[in-house]
Amino acid sequence: MTNKDQVSQSEFHAAVQNVVNEIRDMLIFKNKKYGNSALKPIRIFSKADSLEQLNVRIDDKLSRVNNRKDEDDEDVEKDLIGYLILKRIALRKKPTQDYGDFKKLSTAVLETVLSTNDTLTDEQRAHIQIIMDERWRQNENI
């Protein structure tokens, strides 16, 4: 790796913050546009709870990531990250909820996203994994 390929910690932190802000803004925009349909669905056809409905949406997005072609313009990865955040919010509303399934799902999604993103260095990937592992440990203590 050349010096120009290396990213300083401050540049990495700024890049992460930019992506996090982009996802936050997208979630807030969609919540204003569609209402709180992800966490409080109207349940006309489906009687599944909000967590199960989020799981279905996540499955759909994972399928799209798996079948995606280069010409696809839909930002499926951003939507997928957004749904995982919404699921995390829903799970936190149920403190007795088991985080094991969420951890497995989130790890699978993270691996999928990381494997399709060839702009991250191995060091950045390892750093992200360390952060995620720490988050799992924190959630297991809730």
| Amino acid 27: pLDDT | 93
Query: What does the DSSP 8-state code read for residue 37?
Result: T
Structure token digits, residue 27: 């979630």
Q: Are 82 and 27 in contact (CB under 8 A)?
A: yes
Backbone CA torsion sign across 119, 15, 17, 122: positive
pLDDT per residue of the chain (142 residues) written in tens, 0 to 9: 455 556 788 899 999 999 999 999 999 999 999 888 888 888 788 888 888 889 999 998 888 888 876 556 668 888 999 999 999 988 887 755 455 666 666 677 777 776 776 677 777 777 777 777 776 666 655 4
CA angle 20, 23, 71 (to 5 degrees): 115
Query: Given this model, what pLDDT does residue 25 score?
Result: 94
Q: How many CB atoms lie within 10 A of CB 107?
A: 14
- State the angle between helix axes of 100-116 and 50-67 in degrees (0 to 180), rounded to the nearest 10: 20
pLDDT reported for residue 86: 92
Which position has the token pair 């409905």? 53
- pLDDT given for residue 19 in this prediction: 92
Predicted TM-score of the model (pTM): 0.59
* Dist CA 55 CA 14 (whole Å): 30
Amino acid occupying residue 103:
K
pLDDT at 142: 42
